[in-house]
Structure 1
Amino acid sequence: MNSAPPPSSFDRNTEFYEENRWQKLKRRVFEEPLIPLGCGLTVWALYEATQSMKKGDHNRTNAMFRRRIYAQGFTILAMLAGSIYWSGDRTKRKEYKDLIATKNAKDRHEAWLRELEARDQEDREFEEKMALRARMVRGRAAEEAGASQEERRAIEQQQAGTMGEIRSVLEECERRREGRIAAAARALWQSRQ
């Protein structure tokens, strides 16, 4: 059979070696540290507001709710500033991922073409073997029939158009049987006359 390696669709997956969720979260925290800080301040203000509500201190509760609003505003501004600052890097990262996806698609396409070429080569080799085998069979049949060299060539040329196809054993048996039936019918016809 085919000794060529399977197509690249079965090769190892490169996405396995790329960054996972935790690595991405860690990278984003280090890229934009003000956003987690703003989220932490918002959570702290909410916690303090709930504690002051339990104690019944309405002034502290209102102050904490104001601090929560300031912390949320700070977080939104940090997100906008980070988005503007890192937009160039994100577009480069997106372009890089697109290039990798394009390269992977091209590699898969080339591997698929190589696989098709290997299979086509196998088919050609098989057809050549079958043609050689058919020539050998024709040569033996001509020798058994006691044909001369010229008669063998004529038989080969006559059968060359039909031997491109591979005939099954069943077709060969049917052809012989039809020849016998025709000969028997001829003998019967001649005996009646």
Structure 2
Amino acid sequence: MAAATTTTEQTSESRSAPVPFDFSQPPVIEGFNPLPKVKDETFKDKFIRKTKENPFVPIGCLGTAGALMYGLRSFHQGKTRQSQLSMRARIFAQGFTVVAIIFGVVVTAVKRKE
């Protein structure tokens, strides 16, 4: 009978122990203030916003895709010279896109510091 009371006491003690983390509430981190959620953006809204922030990235992507398609078409038709020039244009467009992305990241970082 004594053993039965000790297991009951142990389970009641484990229930009353403090919970290290409450999963129903977000964690409280000192010095961190989460921004309120503005709204849920659709893909179209986010695409338009990002394009307005840095319009050179979509331009570079379209240039890359256009040069690739034209180069593949030239290759298929057997125009090797035109295909080679198109692949070089594609590499140039890819470089332009990467530079535009880096430029956008730098501008965003500088804008946040101000």
TM range (shorter): 0.5 to 0.7
> Structure 1 CA distance, aligned partners of 2:81 and 2:52?
36
Equivalences for residues 1-193 of structure 1 within 5 A? 15=37, 18-21=39-42, 22-89=44-111
Gaps of 5+ in 2: 1-24, 26-35
Sequence identity, in percent? 29
For residue 41 of structure 2, what is the amino acid of its counterpart?
Answer: N
For residues 149-190 of structure 1, give each alpha carbon's deviation from its aligned partner in whole angstroms, at most 9, with x where no partner exists.
Answer: xxxxxxxxxxxxxxxxxxxxxxxxxxxxxxxxxxxxxxxxxx
2-structure distance, mates of 1:82, 1:38: 13
TM (norm. structure 2) is: 0.61
Task: Look at both structures and tell me which one has the larger radius of gyration over its CA atoms.
Answer: 1
Higher helix share: 1
1:25 to partner: Cα distance: 1.8
Corresponding residue SS for 1:18: coil
The offset of 1:54, in angstroms, is 1.2
Q: Aligned partners of 1:90, 1:46: CA distance in 2, in Å?
A: 36
Which structure 1 segments of 5+ residues have no match? 1-8, 93-193
Distance 1:37 1:63, change over 3 A: same
Superposition misfits of 4+ residues, deviation over 4 angstroms: 89-92
Q: Residue 19 of structure 1: CA displacement?
A: 4.2
